[in-house]
Structure 1
Amino acid sequence: MEHFLSTQNSILIQGVTPSDLESMLSRLLDKKLASIIDSTPKVESTSRDGLYKRKEAAEKLRISLVTLDNWTKLGIINARRIGTRIYYTEKDINDALKKVSK
Structure 2
Amino acid sequence: MKELNSTQQAIIMSFFAPFVDVIVDRVSERVLSITAKKEPKFYTRKETAKILHVTLPTLARITKDGLLISKRVGSRILYEADAIDEAVKKQVVFKYRRA
Taking structure 1 as the reference length, the TM-score comes to: 0.48
Greater helix fraction, Structure 1 or Structure 2: 2
Relative contact order higher in (CA < 8 Å, ≥ 6 apart) = 2
Structure having the larger proportion of residues in strand? 1
